[in-house]
Amino acid sequence: MVYVTDTHPFLWYLAEDKRLSKAAKVVFDSVEAGNATIIVPTIVLAESLHILEKGRFSVKFMDIVRKIDEGWNYSAIPLDVRVIKRIEELTKLSELHDRIIVASADILGAELITKDAAIKQSGYVRTVW
């Protein structure tokens, strides 16, 4: 199974933060066990860097990058023309970063791990939370 992750669930899992839902933790644990794959949109990486620079988590940014570079169960999807074309159609979402993340999941036909109410209510992709 392939999943796309939103920023906070990704960081919460890596930091073992209790805010991560049980369903999301099951998915991330499945990925760690090699039974699923998580695709990380590059905007999630950029947002992660921004959040980590503020010192809100003990996770190191380069550890995240290494996890993606070295792990076959994590990979990145770039912000490319396919994603740009799709975000134009996602008019129910006002937040550009959300539109990029949702477009990435939609293009891949993947479920999106997110707590974001606006994304869930949009109905554009299936979500896990």
Please state whether the predicted TM-score (pTM) of the whole model is above 0.75.
yes
The confidence score (pLDDT) of residue 67 equals 86
- Please state which CATH number belongs to domain 2-128: 3.40.50.1010
Q: Residue type for 41, please?
A: P
Residue spans of the domains in the chain: they are 2-128
Mean pLDDT of 26-53: 96
The confidence score (pLDDT) of residue 115 equals 98
State the Rg of the chain over Cα: 14
Question: Above 80 in pLDDT, residue 101?
Answer: yes
Phi and psi for 76 in degrees, rounded to 5?
-110, 150
Tokens encoding 106: 């939609």
